[in-house]
Amino acid sequence: MVAARAQRAFTLAKEAGRTCEDFILGCRLHGRYAVSDGASVSYDSRGWARALCRQFLADVNPPGTAWLRAARDRFGAGAAAPVDDWAAAHATERGSFATFLGIAITGPQIVVHAIGDTVLFVITPDGELAMFPDLPPEAFRHDPALLCSRPGRSAFDDSDDAFAASVFTLPVPARGWAGTRLLAMTDALAEWVAGAAAAGARRQRLDELAGLLDGEAFRLWAGAAIAAGQVRRDDCALLTIRL
C-alpha cells in the first residue's frame, strides 16, 4: 500500500486583495487529492472549483456523469445569486467553469483524472520525469477544456466516454513508489515548468517548487517569479506530495 509521507498545499491570488479562484483539497488517510482552477470570467468559479474537489474526496467512484451531477448539486446548494442582482443571476444561469485534476492512490496504483490544463508532474527516485496530461508549453496559451456547473455549456463533453479518456494510470516504478514526488499545479506554474526544454532544466524547476516549505515561502517565490516575467500573472496553486 503506497501512502503519502508528506504533503504541502499553497495557493496565491494573482493580485493583492483578490480571492484566489484555485482550490486544493486532500486526504492522506484515503489517498485522494484534488486541484481545480476556477475560471475567473465565470460566476463564483472558486465555489465551483471547491465543489468539484469536495465531490472527488467524498465519492470513491471515478469521475463520470453521475459524479458531475453530484458536484453540480453540491455547488447549486450554495450558489444561488441574490434575487435583486440580475447580472449575477444571468452569470449563474450561464454557468461556472473550472479545470479539474484528481489523484487517487489505491493500493499500489495511482490514478490521475485530468480535465483541462491543471497538471501533475511525477519525479521518481531514479530521476525519471512524467507529466499528466502531457501538454506542450503553447497549450497553456489556449482555452482549456473546462467542466461547467450547467449541462451542455462547455467544450468538454459531459459523457462517460469523455471522462474515461481523461484518466491516466501511472506505471509503477520498478523499485516501487517510495521516494517518488508528485507535484500538481495550475496552469501558470505548469506552463513555467513545461517551458524548460531540457529534462534537466525541467527537473531543476520542479525541485525549486518542491523546496518551498510554507505559504510565506511560496508567496515570496511566486511574487518574485511573476515580477521577473518568468511566471505569468495568474492565480497559482501548488500541491506537493512525497510518497
Domain borders along the chain are 6-242
Amino acid identity for residue 5 in this structure:
R
What are 111-138's pLDDT values in tens digits? 999 999 999 999 988 888 899 999 999 9
Instruction: Give the domain 6-242 fold.
Output: Phosphatase 2c; domain 1 (3.60.40)
What are 162-212's pLDDT values in tens digits? 999 999 999 888 888 999 999 999 999 999 999 998 889 999 999 999 999
pLDDT attached to residue 127: 81
Residues in the chain: 243
Q: Which three cell numbers stand for residue 40?
A: 475567473
Partner residues linked to 33 by β-bridges: 26, 103
pLDDT at 48 > cutoff 60: yes
Q: Which helix (H) or strand (E) holds 203?
A: helix 199-210
pLDDT attached to residue 78: 55
Q: Is there a contact between 105 and 4 (Cβ–Cβ < 8 Å)? A: yes
